[in-house]
Structure 1
């Protein structure tokens, strides 16, 4: 079992079953590993000796981040993942560890011998540069303590006929990690966190799914064709006088913006390549915007600490636009729509497998922009990949705008250019 606990906060933040074991019976010593940021890189000082533990009893390792001053990393947080590399278990979900503090991992092993746990930590500098560190921690597990047993006195009785001993119970095998299934049915999401593009490798092929976390505490995987993203008038902002964003309209005009930073009441949309593993995929993933159908321009861009804008996708200057995404990325940016109405965005995602073959997928996404843009259920003229055989419907200008909101509140953020949180159906296309 692996548990990750923040040294500054109560509660268990992470749990991963390595092996089935009895409860711990002693408080183990906690050994610390220091993490620091030097020369724009995460640096860890691993232990020179392996940790030691008794089978069935916990061993603890603390990640000490006190050497990272506040304001060094975006969000003052490091993401940590512990993975059993000797066949004991699959990896954990990444968990946040506060800078200038730390967190403690707790492992329990049922069997004797040398076990290895891989620890991955990653964070982002204030300018959006990703930084990572990785090390392997060996744990020497010795035989469990033998507890003497006190047998009660029993009356002498004739021996009964001997029975065959029960068959020995086999240790439960840890099941191989399986991809969560894709839900069915049409949905409209208009608030909460959603990774709109989350590619997975399923049956050897690349499939792009929506990782829907809009309901707090749950994650539902969906086909993009089954999801309509509602951009309400709560997301209306005034377009600033910024040359990089002039393609969206005139300065001071109203646009609909799904922000890079989370804001209550509106969608917070990102993308994730956390489901793709280096053992299967080499190098970054290529993400392309191939076409846009709608009443106005569309743009995807990031905003840096001092208000500088970096455009990823611009629908007005010729498509396709292409963006490279590293494995293990979970990122957010600003999704901007110049006019209210119904938009269809076509995306293509491709990657190279470790055997040298290329895998790819293409999907269409529907955005309903503005309160007066109605939800329309796709009819029989909608193909399986979400493309319509007829012209997409769109509405006119939305109703009266909400109270004027300076875009600076939604765009000029304290932190990095990309809000990064740092992490399979038969392939439709392979080449």
Structure 2
């Protein structure tokens, strides 16, 4: 591709990704990036697209960039396919691309919780901020992207400050606790095991405590972290290798580790499940990739829920909540319009300034040449000015300005036979076809 062709691409905000709206859990769990692995992923992505932010949560993987929109989609597709070893044809069925205002509005919706599986959940703001921070510290964020994300974070905070979306809405942790409570008719007499002590594990443990459970068991690869979380809520901890053994005695399991494979497999859990003799056990897997083998749902008494099941149980039909969603959507649209208006005016101001600066450069250069020629001319005498010669030089001077200013635009017009752009140029310069 020539330099001229590259210069003609439109630079804009571009979003490429997939989410729970376009891809099932089977695909999403194959292309997730934990925060601790983000730098490695960004290193790999540098070969495809620069100045970008990669967001990876349970429900989405998205790449935001300020780049050549005609190339961004194919480059991100190449990156995802190569990095996660997923067939391109499979990905193309689930990827979406948004540019310009659509990209801006989408990010505002994501950060505001409006695009989440559980609408209104508040964790997404912190998750996006964390991933942005890592990309920014690494030098992956340019001026335009920085301004976009800062405005998005401000919009997310504004939604939570000026609406009651958090009050009436749900979160993954609250929904998980609600499912367990409803399935067992209360948790006061139930034993609950939480696997994982990350942000999700801590939030769900707190939600279970609020729901009334008095017996919380915490398991984590690092025993000290399990002890800390259990002690904070008056619970107990167990060694990580005792998880499967404990399945025979607990009533609820909620798992949220960052393990790349199953923590509870059919093989390892079979004996403990069989000992229950059909006694109900609620398993809620809020990890992506999944922690619990889906085949366990076939066992008698096992009620297994994955991330994709949570939305059905979020209880978001409250009219008051619907009102808050409407308020939030209107706020996002307004903030999008304000950002785009500001951004477009900034682009226009810079363009006008650049045009005047370029014209001034040409004028100064040609005026200098003309004055130098006249003053250094043997025939020049301030008292005996040759009017004809002066007119000729000024005519040449003005013609040189025209030639220099229009050289690049005319070259472009000749190389691009585009009637629409030709009509646009005619309007700019008030040209009459007749």
Confirm or deny a common fold (TM above 0.5): no
Structure with the higher strand share, 1 or 2 = 1
TM-score grouping bracket, smaller chain normalisation: under 0.3
Structure with the higher helix share, 1 or 2 = 2
* TM-score (norm. length: structure 1): 0.22
* TM-score (norm. length: structure 2): 0.22
Q: Report which of the two structures shows the higher radius of gyration computed on alpha carbons.
A: 2
